[in-house]
Amino acid sequence: MHILVIEDEKKISNFIKRGLKEEGFMVSVAFNGEEGYELAKSENFALIILDLMIPKIDGFTLCSKLREEGATMPIIMLTAKDSIKDKVTGLNLGANDYLTKPFAFEELIARVRAHLRKPAEKAITKLKVDALELDLLNHKVMREEKEIVLTTKEFSLLEYFMRNEGKIVTRTMISEQVWDINFDTATNIIDVYVNYLRKKVDSDYEKKLIQTIRGRGYLLKA
């Protein structure tokens, strides 16, 4: 699926673009309203992520213009404004959702998936790799019928590994997906948490699922 991101802050747009591409989406980026409008009219996008405070054509005007011209794709608005009035205005102009900055990428991708989900499609509630099972609803992890107690951050890290089973994930990817946008990549906290997770998930079992790929990152594989 092809997603259009209209965001003038390059750090944020690049962060969103990388994250969405890692989730398997095609992504195009526009840095102002005019460019975004031209792209939206020329391509068949599945969804638009639209910042409100963009140059040339603001997000409210652009959203209204697209809806008046018959655009039906979901539109998720991003903004630093968190007043009820702004949210109501955006929704009344045709936006499907509204996310206030700063935001966690996990929340953004959850909203993207929710708006793209087909009505008959069931949401994924469990992830399984070999005998390791992660229950997203009950926040529970089991391996060979033995419960593994994880902290919130360890759970998020394991979920990211399991969603990317068989793929090498770098420390940068982990920092953007599991930690927040302002994460200090100079620290070794990711390695520390991977070691915590490895001790809980792998230490008591002959088969090791979490692997270190020297010079590249980590890999979870059955």
> Domain locations in the chain?
2-116, 126-220
pLDDT over 60 at 219, yes or no? yes
pLDDT at residue 121 in the model = 46
CATH hierarchy code of domain 126-220 = 1.10.10.10
pLDDT at residue 126 in the model = 87
> What's the rounded mean pLDDT across residues 205-217?
92
How far is it, in rounded angstroms, from Cα 167 to Cα 80?
A: 34
How far is it, in rounded angstroms, from Cα 116 to Cα 174?
A: 24
Which two tokens mark 35? 């460019």
Q: Is this prediction's pTM over 0.95?
A: no
CATH hierarchy code of domain 2-116 = 3.40.50.2300
pLDDT in tens, 20-74: 998 889 999 999 999 999 999 888 899 999 999 999 999 999 999 999 998 899 9
pLDDT at residue 118 in the model = 58
> What's the rounded mean pLDDT across residues 195-215?
93
Contacts 24+ apart (CB under 8 A), 174-183: 174/217, 174/218, 176/15, 176/18, 176/19, 176/105, 177/19, 177/22, 177/105, 177/106, 178/106, 178/153, 180/102, 180/104, 181/12, 181/15, 181/102, 181/105, 182/102
For strand 168-169 and strand 210-213, is the pairing parallel, antiparallel, or unpaired?
Answer: unpaired
pLDDT at residue 184 in the model = 65
pLDDT at residue 91 in the model = 84
- Decide which of 144 and 87 is more confident: 144
Look over the chain and give the mean of its residue pLDDT values, rounded to a whole number: 88
pLDDT in tens, 159-184: 989 988 999 988 888 887 787 555 56
pLDDT in tens, 69-110: 988 999 999 987 666 777 788 888 889 998 888 888 999 999
**Which residues are registered as beta bridge partners of 134?**
127, 141
Provide the 10 A C-beta neighbour count for residue 5: 26
> What's the rounded mean pLDDT across residues 198-213?
93
Tell me if 2-116 shares its fold with 126-220: no
